[in-house]
Structure 1
């Protein structure tokens, strides 16, 4: 069930109008600094206590909170959590206005803000600021997401109910408040373009070299999907180092007092020519009732379960021969298609695909913990490293328990996760992958999942990188204290970030060097990063706050705070208070001690509904939701134009990187009269690098195929095609994937020919003789 953030008032149907939300985003390179302002007005005739519940990315470091009433700004103080609650409660009992901001203890991606004793007719403005690192996508885009969707989290009966479960919902067109967003991007590498899943005003470059740009969200956002901005820099994967000076008034010896260095590594792992033919691949599929929901509120949007199934089928079709695999489904209960992991053959693959196609979101609640325990109780196979793939919309209430279970078993597997749909819990999706040295991806809306799936598979096929070390060469008298710890997993093409505190006297302009070394297939590899110790003093100590967030997250470790020692809890609180970065053990509190007319009696609690359809608590009951869903949606490499009656077919073998990028072929020449289908033959996934293929060796096995539809230029407007044409292209591509054999080939028959809307005889005529002579393609 999709829902959106907003102000809610406990236990009442009377709304408190949220006038609007405005967001200012400053992106410098790969870091975003965000300030969000929310404006409310109490239209009641009595004072109220309001609770604002909203999502943030798991990695966001909230460092400031303030409220403005009657023209006066009240800056909140970060206190130990219990003390903050005591301060707030005492202020409310004395009739003073008070404000409380806290992180949800069960999940680090949910926050709540209490506004107490808001008098009748009074307006309130709440402002919070946070910073976060930005990931680089498989296509090179730097991705910023403003979460606006907060899904209800299912909680098993033996756990406390999630704060998200009882929020009332409204359809998107009934949400009474608006969102304004302005984003400013800066990059020393230049900005080629900025894209979004939402409608934007035209991009404005603020200098002639395109080093900075501004975009704004168009009016009319309905809060039914997260706001995603993709910035394409001319050079995104460049190693870099930034040094930030400490704060002169900070506590001596603390993170905030000393310089902090942020290192961005892009490890260059040697390519291996060995074909991957081993591994145990276990797929864990979420089939809870919430997976019945659509990926978005747009017409004909696919269901989450269908997108997850397509992702799984693409992975199944790409596994290497010689490996083992199994598929688990979970909801209120769980099951597997095989009693144990079975050898990957044409027969076992065909049976698995058949069963996946029959899957639906009909298994009730989202109880992922028990199937994980069953998987970990099963012994692995010698010489077949275990790789776990998780597909879920993240509507899990006992997040920390689930992550803790994966962490305890991290020594015998790697975990790769896919968050399906808007609002997927970043705490769960990222936490599971990080707990077991894997990677994570989020698949939302209409975006192409194919590059993300292939990138994840490539990472899972990469042998483990071992013996990772960091070696520093710094000026005399300066030493580095690691704050983020040494990286535990390294993958080709994946950014690895390291934070360190520089202790000692740092001379301006001196040089430093760090070597990231590791063992890969018994070969030692080192990536060296040199940098200048040029200290920059900033009013916003962004890197210090990000480093503090990393320290706090590492101390928590995804585990239950109750199980942490008093010493660890003390370190969390100290780091949080000194840096101003909120944690589960601290909270921001502000009190207006100059309230002109103290409120008499307890304030009345009110509620404002959020986006989503009412489900009568089905989100937190172990029962499936009976909701209509759209037809299954197939993968689309790109979009096809209408009139795909006589498509031409071009066959190209092992295209070079100039024609293949992330699996997509280059566009046809201008004025192409008919849409085309290009069939590109691909080698085994283990040998794919950055979407480019290479010439096959003699006697190499059958190559694999990918299809890209080229639309007729006349039918395309702003890169989009009509819905029927798009659906037709997607169905064709999914049909093609479904017909693929385990070794990557196709049977040259009428079924394959029907995908291209031609007879088997015509298809054979289109294929070169060496291939045509074989019954398989």
Structure 2
């Protein structure tokens, strides 16, 4: 008889709860997760748990507590640790193994061996991570809870990522989370995508606070926290003392300094928008992009992406070049090569964007990237790559190595859409491509974040970056991270350096960053005290070690001297106590007096998988792709649905695309809706594509008795995108009925009120600007470049005094803006 909590496979789940304590110090978080295991079966168990961590996390502690006995794991060479674990488990000893995936650094596997019947074990994992700065200057902390299956192309070795076990319903274990925040600057507020208890300040100056996650978190989303400090963008430095017992001259022996810089570019450089560049937009069109985001007012992924492409195309400057790629199991581009941005090409692209569907299979991003990089760069037009994906791939490191090898020729801006997007892939693309990463989750709009990245892309490229240190005599600084190759206005840049010398004392030092911006030399400098800070828990050292390890791992994959680099990685990893791809934490209960007898039952602990109401599976080989509609539903309702199980290796998402006419697919499993929106189960008869359909349907009844979507009440249309869609590539609008309808007027009203000294296009463009600045001011980040183009176009027309025209426009539209506020 089964007892306790059950997985989706109707097996008991030995993991009962996860308790997380987070301590945030300025922009660094230390995270301690305790996983409580209980064997409620009548036989000994081995539990396997494949779970996500932040891609840049430095895992630095692993221990297990059985009763009153604590076992602290050691960090060893991975192969040695795995052999020890296997030997211990086979001999009946309790053992614990924590290892990082070789394919993706944001996926870990925890093995808990030889849990006796009725036995409890509390496993604790500690890691540290830097908090990313957001566009609104908040700091983002993310506790990953969702882990989606990773798409693995045919012939690839999936390793740990192929072992991901997931459920789409409530995860069979609970989560508690407490957060303690301390900062040199007052804490303004704390926001989250999840429900929190009230924030409690611990001191009158608001530099310390605590908050807890409200009970009942269902693991259906990652837990995101956004911390707001006063003056969060101020440069800072932390000098941390080393370990006296560490080997001489090693990273852990000497003090390490962490410098946080926020470059401020001259206003005269930032006031002008770049008019050159090759903008390549790469859009995920795999089956999962048809799903919905989570939360109130959530959007369909592919529709939101299409709206975003519209906004991007309207925001590009005249004279640049562009192209759009869609990818899944295959890829295609709108144009054979990037084309010059003009009205004709923009119209052609928008027509194809309108027809885009999430109908291209799996998430194979490597081939389109190879094709893009094979295209010659356009002189005087720096290549800017924008990659949108909601998925995760099994060959993450291969993709990142490819981007790294072409870093000299482009910048890469990446966007993770929805819960469970791989942090290793999204942040890695931006890091290796000298760009910027964004995550769009819950009911967040994609457009503001994408336009923020476009603002970065339109900034002048910084060149000739150098870092100089001014330190007391006898003290030197050795930078441990790769050299800085990208700087953006207002974005934090971290520098780690090892300080060597005997006279650190309380002296002062400085670091100077020099670079060229639009051929102008710029200097940023920070003075700091080089006296080491004690009792910091080696956070700075371990973050520096993590940075060095990732750099060495990347070199190893592309170097002929891989064996020597592997030895260096293992040595640094063990010395610093920070995990790597070649090391693993191993803990064995050697003090137990009684070994576990009998064969072990293996139990896989599932994570929550972000999914729509339907799963779509297909084998890696396109020519063998059989279309299956797999519906996750309570058992009592499955007979009404198209339920089809497939071997794990074949499980990939695809549209259940059996209808012969696209307009009827909304009655099939192409359309997903939350249970609250289900109207009824209705049998839909249609002609069936015969090829590949026999696995899913027996007769002409397709996806028998699928739920239909309830007719939603008509919502008030957001007029921003309709207005933007009418703008010409040059930046102007035409005076016509379409514009009048968006502005809530008739064409005659617009024409009759037009001042005599301006022509129709100038008048129409003025009205559009007045409307934007009056009625969509809160969304200015989305239309800022659209407005800049419009203002530049009006200025180029050399119209006389426009102040009277603006006054007439204000009266017509019921607004109150000035000519100067329009940027004219």
Find the partner of 1:235 among 231, 238, 260. 231
Write the distance in 2 (CA, Å) between the matches of 1:153 and 1:251: 40
Compared with structure 1, are the counterparts of its residues 490 and 366 closer, same or farther at alpha carbon in structure 2 (3 Å cutoff)? same
Decide whether aligned partners of structure 1 residues 354 and 306 sit closer, same or farther in structure 2, where only a CA change above 3 A counts. same
Answer with 341-350 or 125-134: which moved more. 341-350
The answer for the alignment partner of 1:289 in structure 2 is: 287
Q: Do the aligned residues in 1 keep the contact of 2:740 with 2:750 (CA within 8 Å)?
A: yes
Q: Given that residues 151 and 164 in structure 1 are in contact (C-alpha distance below 8 angstroms), is that contact kept between their aligned partners in structure 2?
A: no
Where do 1:340-739 residues align within 5 Å? 340-538=337-535, 540-557=537-554, 560=557, 565-612=562-609, 615=615, 617-618=617-618, 622=622, 624-626=654-656, 627-629=669-671, 728=716, 731-739=718-726
**Counterpart residue number, 2:243:** 247
Give the Å deviation of 1:135: 1.1
Cα deviations across residues 74-123 of structure 1 (Å, max 9, x unaligned)?
10000000000011011011100000000000001101100011111111
Q: By how many angstroms is 1:597 displaced?
A: 2.6
Asked whether the 8 Å contact 1:150–1:164 carries over to 2, the reply is no
For 1:617 and 1:594, how far apart are their aligned partners in 2?
47
Task: Give 1:143 shift.
Answer: 0.8
State the Cα RMSD in Å.
2.6
Summarize deviations over 1:129-148 as a string: whole Å, max 9, x none: 00011111011111111111
Q: Partner residue of 1:311?
A: 308
Find the partner of 1:198 among 194, 199, 216.
194
**1:449-483 CA distance string (max 9 Å, x none):** 34422221122122221111111111111111111
Report if aligned partners of 2:67, 2:120 keep a CA contact under 8 Å in 1.
Answer: yes
Contact 2:102 2:160 in 1 (8 A): no
What SS does the corresponding residue of 1:571 show, helix, strand or coil? helix
How far apart are residue 18 of structure 1 and its match?
A: 2.5
Structure 2 runs not aligned, ≥5 long = 626-653, 657-668, 674-710, 766-824
For residues 231-282 of structure 1, give each alpha carbon's deviation from its aligned partner in whole angstroms, at most 9, with x where no partner exists. 1111111011111111222222221111110000111222425552221111
**Contact between 1:618 and 1:625, CA under 8 Å: does it hold in 2?**
no
* Aligned-partner Cα distance in 1 for 2:65–2:507: 45
Per the normalisation by structure 2, the TM-score is 0.78
Q: CA deviation at 1:592?
A: 0.5
Q: CA deviation at 1:630?
A: 6.4
Summarize the Cα distance change of 1:166–1:34 in structure 2 as closer, same or farther, 3 Å threshold: closer
- Conserved? CA contact 2:290–2:302, under 8 Å: yes
The worse-fitting range, judged by mean Cα deviation, of 307-316 and 256-265 is: 307-316
C-alpha deviation, 1:205, in angstroms:
1.0
What's the TM-score once normalised by structure 1's chain length?
A: 0.83
In the aligned structure 2, how far is the partner of 1:775 from the partner of 1:570? 69
- The one-character-per-residue Cα deviations of 1:690-721 (angstroms, maximum 9, x if unpaired) are xxxxxxxxxxxxxxxxxxxxxxxxxxxxxxxx
Deviation at 1:302, TM superposition (A): 1.9
Moved more, 59-68 or 452-461: 452-461
In the alignment, structure 1 residue 745 sits paired with structure 2 residue 732: yes
SS of 2:604 mapped into structure 1: coil
Would the aligned equivalents of 2:45 and 2:116 in 1 still touch at CA under 8 Å?
Answer: yes
1:280 aligned partner: 278
- Higher relative contact order by CA 8 Å / sep ≥ 6: 1 or 2? 1
- CA separation of 1:90 and 1:734: change in aligned 2, threshold 3 A: same
- Going from structure 1 to structure 2, the CA distance change for 1:340 and 1:401 (only over 3 Å counts) comes to same
Q: Secondary structure at the match of 1:736?
A: helix
Deviations 1:173-200 (A, max 9, x none): x423211111111122111111111111
More helix by share: 2
Give 2:764's aligned residue: 776
User: CA offsets per residue over residues 593-632 of structure 1, 9 Å max, x none?
Assistant: 122431124311123443245737448665523344469x
2: CA distance, partners of 1:67 / 1:422: 30
The 10-residue stretch of structure 1 (60-69 or 602-611) with the greater mean CA deviation from structure 2: 602-611
Measured in 1, the distance between the counterparts of 2:244 and 2:621 equals 53
Supply the distance in 1 between the matched residues of 2:558 and 2:714 (Cα, whole angstroms).
48
Cα shift at 1:761: 4.7
Partner SS, residue 215 of structure 1: strand
Q: Unmatched 5+ residue regions in structure 1? A: 1-6, 632-722
- Which residue pairs with 2:110 in the alignment? 113
CA distance in 2, matches of 1:318, 1:402: 29
The Cα of 1:384 is off from its aligned counterpart by: 1.4
Partners of 2:714 and 2:321 lie apart in 1 by: 35
Contact conserved, 2:736 with 2:747, CA < 8 A, in 1?
yes
- Over 3 Å counting, the alpha-carbon distance change for 1:619 and 1:126 in structure 2 is farther
SS of equivalent residue, structure 2 residue 134 = coil
Matching residue within 187, 210, 217 for 1:214: 210
* Aligned-partner Cα distance in 2 for 1:388–1:38: 40
Q: What displacement does 1:428 show?
A: 1.0
Moved more, 48-57 or 243-252: 243-252
Task: Pick one of 748, 754, 767 that aligns with 2:741.
Answer: 754
Q: Secondary structure at the match of 1:27?
A: strand
Q: Is the 8 A contact 2:287 2:616 kept in 1?
A: no
Q: Which residue of 2 aligns with 1:94?
A: 91
Structure 2 Cα separation of the partners of residues 21 and 75 of structure 1: 19
Rg (Cα) greater in structure: 2
Structure 2 Cα separation of the partners of residues 289 and 92 of structure 1: 41
Is the 1:175–1:222 contact (alpha carbons within 8 Å) kept by the matching residues of 2? Answer: yes
Q: Which residue of 1 aligns with 2:771?
A: none
Measure how far apart 1:726 and its partner are. 11
CA 1:227–1:587: 2 relative to 1, 3 Å: same
Q: Which residue of 1 aligns with 2:636?
A: none
